[in-house]
Amino acid sequence: MSRLVVKVGGAVAFSATAQILALACEGHEVVVVHGAGPQILGRLQRAGLESEFVGGRRVTSAAALTVVRQTLATVNAGLCVALGPTAVGFLGDEIGLRARRLPELGHVGAPLPSRPDVIEGTLADGLLPVVAPLAVGPLNVNADEMAGALAAGLEAERILFLTDVPGLLVEGVVVPKIEVDDAEALLERGTLQGGILPKLRAAIAAARQGVEAEIGATAVVA
């Protein structure tokens, strides 16, 4: 039985349920990490709070953190309902996920590899853990990076980033495979923007830890 971490973005969280359940039905141990980008953006706008991103991470004030946490909890509960009775929801800060605070971004953290006992227990019971990307503090953590840290900590065989783009695009073409050194050079060139940045960073980190990493149709290999 292989262990998989599946990261789903807020834009595709509910449309990805069939794919997640299919993986579980194949006998894999599946851990789901979800984002809530569009939902958080909408709630922040309604609250009159601005959204700013640095390197794919959301700058998070104390006021914004309250909105982020509430939104993640709502999406987590909804995704668990959509996945069915085997899904068990967790907020990362409540199960001891940790991160190094990035004070220049406010209440934001860079996640550390983690192997929570509650996740191991949930998998042992044949259930499907669904994790919201928060760390002790609480700190807001980019969901891609949280998924990568969990994959490393849980010693997963694979991490899959399910997204609304087909994969890593270079000059408009999907790259089927990229070596981690080449991926890092691509990041350093500064030509990539937006949500692919944390995905690629997380995939590189996971691949260097021995985890097979896939961003859509793109394999990131060590």
Supply the residues annotated as catalytic.
7, 10, 37, 144, 199
Q: Parallel, antiparallel, or unpaired: how do β-strands 128-132 and 87-91 relate?
A: parallel
Strand order in the sheet with 158-162: 87-91, 128-132, 29-34, 3-8, 158-162, 212-215, 218-221, 177-179
DSSP at 6 = E
Cα separation, 190 vs 127, whole angstroms: 41
Cα separation, 77 vs 66, whole angstroms: 17
Interior angle at CA 174, CA 172 and CA 177, nearest 5: 140
Tell me if 86 sits within 8 A of 128, measured CB to CB.
Answer: yes
Letter string b/e over residues 167-196, b meaning 16 or more CB atoms within 10 A of that residue's CB: bbeeeeeebeebebeebeebbeeeebeebb
